[in-house]
């Protein structure tokens, strides 16, 4: 398989066939991100020959284990949905050729990637199997989005994800707890929930900001331009996010960045989630949470 560098996927894609169609990130400017720093290039498309070769190799492996079915394919890379409509359709055709049992095709997407497609193209992509995108919205706090150089604002999230809703393409949000900085986390959680409440994400997943020395954000901290939330502040922020979400969705905190992990359906399990967060806030020491953060080798 033509895998390049570390392959990142959401926890809920553990059983998916991972297919590399791109490596790196087209944006490559978010101040907190170091996920693709190991690559010698910012972004690269995979040749269609490599993609087909990987599908053939995966087909042989799946046939070796007769009961394996690739009902879900996850395209790897920071934002493979940036690929042109024609390329995505060509990839979908190849996937269905070698794995006709495939029901859905997912992958990471930036908000700006959606804007590159027309409404008609989004509908056609859904018809070809594209469904269940994972979008790192991070926050709907415009001040934080601007400072972190995300390349979009909260209105873009509303507009572009609303277009996914219209096309029938389901999606999950990644929320980055701590992105608003010290003293602003709960306000960021509230404005994020207000945007989510106008959309239909199937899941809102919280990850906690972990700052590494090779990030641009670390440099901003050293210059005195930004201050990190305490660990307990981050849990109060997550509590505010859960409390403020009014839609039917799944809330999850499943990644390694979370010292404590949660998963529950909203609104049905909101009280239980809030109670669990309250217990952490009231009983866990800041020093213990900070020790976990400082010893986290990578996300």
CATH of the domain at 73: 3.20.20.70
Residue 299: predicted pLDDT:
64
Q: Is residue 5 part of a domain?
A: no
| Residue 246 structural domain | 11-294
Q: Is residue 1 part of a domain?
A: no
- CB-count burial class (<10 Å; 0-12, 13-18, 19+) for 16: buried
The mean of the pLDDT values for the chain is 96
Q: Is residue 20 part of a domain?
A: yes
Q: Is residue 192 part of a domain?
A: yes
Q: Is residue 69 part of a domain?
A: yes
| Segment 29-87, tens digit of pLDDT | 999 999 998 898 999 999 999 999 999 999 999 988 887 889 999 999 999 999 999 99
pTM: 0.95
Q: Is residue 108 part of a domain?
A: yes
Per-residue pLDDT at 292 exceeds 90: yes
| Segment 101-150, tens digit of pLDDT | 999 999 999 999 999 999 999 999 999 999 999 999 999 999 999 999 99
Number of structural domains (the chain) is 1
Task: Please confirm whether the linkage preceding 267 is cis (ω < 30° from 0).
Answer: yes
């Amino acid at each position: 398989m033509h895998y390049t560098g570390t392959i990142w996927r959401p926890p809920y894609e553990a059983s998916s066939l991972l297919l590399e169609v791109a490596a790196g990130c087209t944006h490559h400017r978010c101040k907190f991100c170091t996920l693709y720093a190991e690559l010698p290039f910012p972004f690269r498309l995979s040749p269609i020959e490599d993609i087909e070769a990987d599908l053939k190799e995966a087909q042989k492996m799946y046939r070796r284990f007769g009961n394996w079915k690739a009902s879900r394919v996850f395209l790897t890379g920071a934002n493979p949905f940036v690929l042109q409509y024609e390329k995505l359709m060509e990839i979908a055709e190849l996937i269905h050729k070698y794995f006709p049992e495939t029901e859905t095709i997912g992958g990471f997407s930036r908000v700006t990637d959606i804007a590159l497609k027309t409404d008609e193209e989004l509908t056609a992509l859904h018809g070809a199997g594209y469904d269940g995108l994972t979008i790192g919205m991070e926050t709907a706090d415009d001040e934080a989005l601007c400072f972190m150089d995300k390349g979009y604002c909260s209105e873009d999230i509303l507009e572009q994800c609303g277009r996914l809703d219209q096309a029938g393409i389901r999606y999950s949000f990644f929320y980055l707890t701590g992105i608003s900085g010290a003293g602003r986390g709960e306000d960021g959680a509230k404005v994020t929930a207000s945007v989510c409440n106008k959309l239909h994400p199937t899941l809102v997943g919280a990850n906690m900001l972990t700052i590494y020395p090779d990030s641009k954000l670390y440099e901003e901290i050293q210059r005195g331009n930004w201050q990190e939330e305490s660990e307990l502040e981050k849990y109060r922020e997550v509590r505010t996010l859960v409390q403020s979400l009014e839609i039917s969705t799944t809330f999850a905190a499943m990644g390694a960045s979370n010292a404590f992990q949660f998963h529950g359906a909203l609104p049905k399990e909101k009280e239980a989630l809030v109670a669990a967060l309250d217990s952490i806030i009231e009983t866990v020491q800041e020093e213990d949470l900070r020790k976990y953060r400082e010893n986290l080798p990578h996300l």
